[in-house]
Structure 1
Amino acid sequence: MKKSIMALTASLLLGGIASAQKVDFEEYNLDNGLHVILHNDDAAPVVVTSVMYHVGSKDETADRTGFAHFFEHLLFEGTKNIKRGEWFKIVTSNGGVNNANTTDDRTYYYEVFPSNNLELGLWMESERMLHPVINQIGVDTQNEVVKEEKRTSFDNRPYGNIVTVVKENMFKKHPYRWSTIGSMKDLDAATLEEFQAFHKKFYTPNNAVLVVAGQIDIAQTKEWIQKYFGAIPKGETLKKESYTEEPITQTIKATYKDPNIQIPMLVASYRIPSMKTRDARVLDLISSYLSDGKSSKLYKKIVDEKKMALQIGAVGFNQEDYGMYIVYGLPMGTVTTSDLLKEMDEEIVKLQTDLISEKDYQKLQNIFDNQFVNSNSNVEGVAENLAKYYMLYGDINLINNEIDLYHSITREEIRDVAKKYLNPNQRLILDYIPATEKVQN
């Protein structure tokens, strides 16, 4: 009976997934090039106002890294009509929350307000775009904030510099080779005029998408958008540089000494194609199969069964131009990182040689169905996905149909893509080991 109930529950869950609610939206352009996406959702009396700018750390120069992330902080300093230090007070006093985040490819700002404060959210984001105050006081203040973030999240955090070291070894030409937080030396050397020029170049309506999602009146929302954003001047037409990395044909070996750790870590990283490609989506399934959670092949074998590691996991970086699939492991006792690598490679060879079982294939489909539904389960997730699919993928309809692409991937493709990208001569092997000397901040 228990087994039957579980089977029934599973079928009901899958039935719900199959009929996941479609995300309806409307999109249009203002005369200044700002792309607008509107999504009405009456489920709750809240509204998200968000702006995604097509600028990330890859748009910096090698001697001025960290600018995009710096602006994530700097553009909360204040505007012509919002006094310094008042931004967060206005948001919280009106029942809202707000935040921002930066990647290699884009920067995203958003507010979540009660729906009766939609006009306030639109005004604040228009102020951020048109009237930010970029002065030396703000630059100096945020410089210290970013330095503290770097110390806390990277330099003084155990294993905190893994991604930074992987990127600088995996990329030779592409700006992905530096970290999003950048170099404090570069930020210290930058002049106020350089910060102002960076803002003028990238934080323009024609390099942005505005998403308004939640309980909204479409006609009224359009009026307010025209009122607050329509008069913002169009920026220069950007010509994005493209960078082509040569294929990795020999194993890259690197060592990094971390003064904050006592256990060495194995790190193996593979360069993968743009997240917009079919192969990248196949690799998403492969990553989940091998290393996503305690039921994955690597965890079950190396941690649970053989007791060789304290932890096995993976970090996937799906990005606009190239991605990375990073597998890591912490050896236990007398086990070495080389021992872990050998076990890991055995599982990859199995994947490259044999088709995964039909049961494992269906499990992957169920996992991705669940992730797809969850990603659109609240208005905040819908808003960010609408912006992301428009700006980075060039296909906003993926918010509703990307799961169909995953469903169309076959077991044969999983085997063939593993053979194409996950070979020993196509990766970085990083020995991430303890050090006795402290990092100089």
Structure 2
Amino acid sequence: MKQKLVTAFALLFIAGLTGAQEVAYEEYDLDNGLHVILHKDNTAPVVSTAVMYHVGGKDRTEGRTGFAHFFEHLLFEGTKNIERGKWFEIVSSNGGTNNANTTNDRTFYYEVFPSNNLKLALWMESERMLHPVINQNGVDTQNEVIKEEKRSRYDNSPYGKILFTVSENLFKKHPYKDPNIGYMKDLDAASLDEFIAYKEKYYVPNNAALVVAGDIDTEQTKKWISEYFAAVPKGADVVKDYPLEDPITKEIKAKTYDANIQIPATIIGYRTPGFKNRDAYVLNMLSTYLSDGPTSKLYKKMVDDQKEALQVGAINLGQEDYSMYLVFALPVGQTTLGQLNTSIEEEIEKVRTSLISENDYKKLQNKFENKFVNSNSNVEGIANSLATNYILYGDTSLINKEIEIYRSITREEIMEVANTYLKPNQRVVIDYLPEEKPAN
């Protein structure tokens, strides 16, 4: 009886935690098309203000790659009312932090301030949207900043070109074939007028979502949002029409060389559906099953048991139009890349042809429950989730119900999805090799 009571109390406690994780929010549109999402949480005197624009690396024309990432930097240069170089100083001197990041599909700017500085945060983001200063001086400065970023993060970083190599082999038509950071020759060749036109096309209120999450007075926040953002002119509707890829029906083999490594790697890539597709959720679970933690199938087999790999991992790299399912491994000693590929395929074949065990399935469900809870554990994470769910998924309510998708995935579905997308004739196999240095 005592054990039953303990179990009952434990279940009630867990149920209480699950209920507490539901995120309450309010959303509405301004007349100019800006979508506003508000989440009130007065437990700590902190507020996160974020703007996500539906523009990323794929939004470009041929010969003009990298513009979205360029603007991630350029829109910190200054505005009509914020002196050049003062953005970060204003934020830090008022007790805040801020940053931005760009993917192939969206650009995200955010600040975290003590809640008594919410008005300042809203004003700054409205300045970024309404009054950015885009001149040749700023363009030239950020061009050099991005070149240095490319050198340090990609050109001179071990295994820094892996994603570039996978993308250019998985995609032949879609803009995902090109790196998010772009090609430096494209940025060098671009005129100031082209940068201004890009801003006017994509960085408009009707292509963005504003999220305010944290310790707020809702009615006051709405008044400030109206005061600062309502006057921003609406832009033309953004139309996106990207070419479809032909199916991969025969294994593609490729090699690339990296002067920054001594240990080769194998990378196996599959083109998979965009992250809104239900199958993408299944593939997320499958990557966790194969490589999340020391008890996962690939790690236990290749690192612990057979001792043929230093490292092995699998990930479904989600993107809006097409995702990339990647499996990578580093060999031990005399193990060849071919041997690694054979071991990887053996494990994937098992998932294609038989159900995972009930015990493994329960472990997967527990891991995704934990991820769901942790993703909404602070106002920064909540702001990111709300913006992402609206801009990229078209469904803000996913912040509370996405876990139901994972809960509904069956073992049979995991096998079916693996058999649909992860066959040997649908993959790219890349030998990622140390660059041989010429003899003296």
Q: Which of the five TM-score ranges fits, normalised by the shorter chain?
A: over 0.9
Deviation at 1:316, TM superposition (A): 2.7
The equivalences for 1:70-109 within 5 A come to 70-109=70-109
User: Where does residue 279 of structure 1 map in the other structure?
Assistant: 279
Deviations 1:15-41 (A, max 9, x none): 566434210110111011101000001
Check 1:110–1:232 CA distance in 2 against 1; reply closer, same or farther (3 A cut): same
2:381 equivalent in structure 1: 381
Paired residue type of 2:420: K
Q: Could you say which residue in structure 1 is the equivalent of 2:259?
A: 259
Match of 2:299 in 1: 299
2:157 matched residue in structure 1: 157
Q: Which amino acid aligns with 1:126?
A: S
Deviation at 1:10, TM superposition (A): 8.9
SS in 2 for 1:108: strand
> How far did residue 379 of structure 1 move?
0.2
Q: Deviations over 1:138-174 (max 9, x none)?
A: 1111111101110111000010000011001101111
Aligned counterparts of 1:139 and 1:184: Cα–Cα separation in 2: 13
Aligned CA-pair RMSD: 1.8
Q: What is the deviation of 1:9?
A: 11
Which residue of structure 1 aligns with residue 230 of structure 2? Answer: 230
Partner of 1:59: 59
What's the % identity of the aligned pairs?
64
Q: How does 1:19-34 map to 2 (within 5 A)?
A: 19-34=19-34
Q: Which residue number in structure 2 is paired with residue 341 of structure 1? A: 341
Query: How far did 1:240 drift?
Result: 1.1
The question of whether the paired residues in 1 share the 8 Å contact of 2:284 and 2:315 is answered with no
Q: Which moved more, 1:236-245 or 1:49-58?
A: 236-245
Is 1:47 aligned to 2:56, yes or no? no
Deviation at 1:280, TM superposition (A): 0.6
Question: 5 Å matches for 1:121-132?
Answer: 121-132=121-132
Per-residue deviation, 1:219: 0.4
Query: SS of the residue aligned with 2:233?
Result: coil
Is contact 2:175-2:242 (8 Å) kept?
no
Structure 2 counterpart of 1:409 = 409
Tell me, yes or no, if the aligned pair for 1:17 and 1:369 is still in contact at 8 Å: no
Q: Which residue of 2 aligns with 1:183?
A: 183
Q: Distance in 2 between matches of 1:305 and 1:188?
A: 51
Q: Which residue of 1 aligns with 2:362?
A: 362
Shift in CA distance, 310/11, structure 1 to aligned 2, threshold 3 Å: farther
SS in 1 for 2:344: helix
- TM-superposition CA deviations, 1:163-211 (whole Å, max 9, x none): 0110011011110111111111111111111111100110000110000
SS in structure 1 of the partner of residue 287 of structure 2: helix
SS at match of 1:57: coil
Query: Which whole-Å CA distance do the structure 2 matches of 1:81 and 1:374 have between them?
Result: 38
2: distance between equivalents of 1:52 and 1:295?
Answer: 37
Task: Specify the SS of the correspondent of 1:59.
Answer: coil
Secondary structure of the equivalent of 1:179?
coil
When residues 429 and 404 of structure 1 are mapped into structure 2, their CA distance, relative to the original with a 3 A threshold, is same
Does 2:135 correspond to 1:141?
Answer: no
The one-letter amino acid paired with 2:298 is L
1:14, 1:366 within 8 Å by CA — same for their partners in 2? Answer: no
- Relative to the length of structure 2, the TM-score reads 0.96
How far 1:352 moved relative to its partner?
Answer: 1.2
TM-superposed CA distance for 1:242, in Å, is 3.0
| Structure 2 residue ranges without an equivalent (≥5) | none
* Aligned twin of 2:395: 395
Please name the residue that 1:351 is paired with.
Answer: 351
Q: Is the 8 A contact 1:20 1:373 kept in 2?
A: no
Instruction: Specify the alignment match of 1:421 in structure 2.
Output: 421
Q: Aligned partners of 2:193, 2:99: CA distance in 1, in Å?
A: 26
CA distance in structure 1 between the partners assigned to 2:14 and 2:185 by the alignment: 52
Aligned residue in 1 for 2:246 = 246
1:47 partner amino acid: V
C-alpha contact (below 8 Å) 1:291/1:327 kept by paired residues: no
TM-score by length of 1: 0.96
Q: Closer, same or farther in 2 for the Cα pair 1:219/1:91, shift >3 Å?
A: same
Query: What is the letter of the counterpart of residue 325 of structure 2?
Result: Y
Q: Number of residues paired by the alignment?
A: 435
Q: 1 CA distance for matches of 2:252 and 2:92?
A: 49
**What does residue range 309-348 of structure 1 map to in structure 2 within 5 Å?**
309-348=309-348
Secondary structure at 1:346's aligned position in 2? helix
Distance 1:183 1:283 in 2: 31
State the distance in 2 between where 1:248 and 1:77 align.
43
Question: 1:129 & 1:140 partners in 2: Cα distance?
Answer: 21
CA displacement at 1:244 relative to structure 2: 1.2
Query: 2:308 matched to which residue of 1?
Result: 308
Alpha carbons 2:38, 2:212 under 8 Å: kept:
yes
Q: Secondary structure at the match of 2:39?
A: strand
Q: Distance in 2 between matches of 1:173 and 1:14?
A: 48
> 1:165 & 1:20 partners in 2: Cα distance?
43
Change (3 A) 1:11 1:325: farther
Deviation at 1:294, TM superposition (A): 2.0
User: Secondary structure of the residue that 1:151 maps to in structure 2?
Assistant: helix
The Cα shift of 1:293 comes to: 2.5
- Note closer, same or farther for the CA distance 1:245–1:13 as it changes in structure 2 (3 Å cut): farther
Deviation at 1:13, TM superposition (A): 8.2
Secondary structure of 2:263's match?
A: coil
**Distance verdict in 2 for CA 1:188–1:401, change over 3 Å:** same
Secondary structure class of the residue paired with 2:388: helix
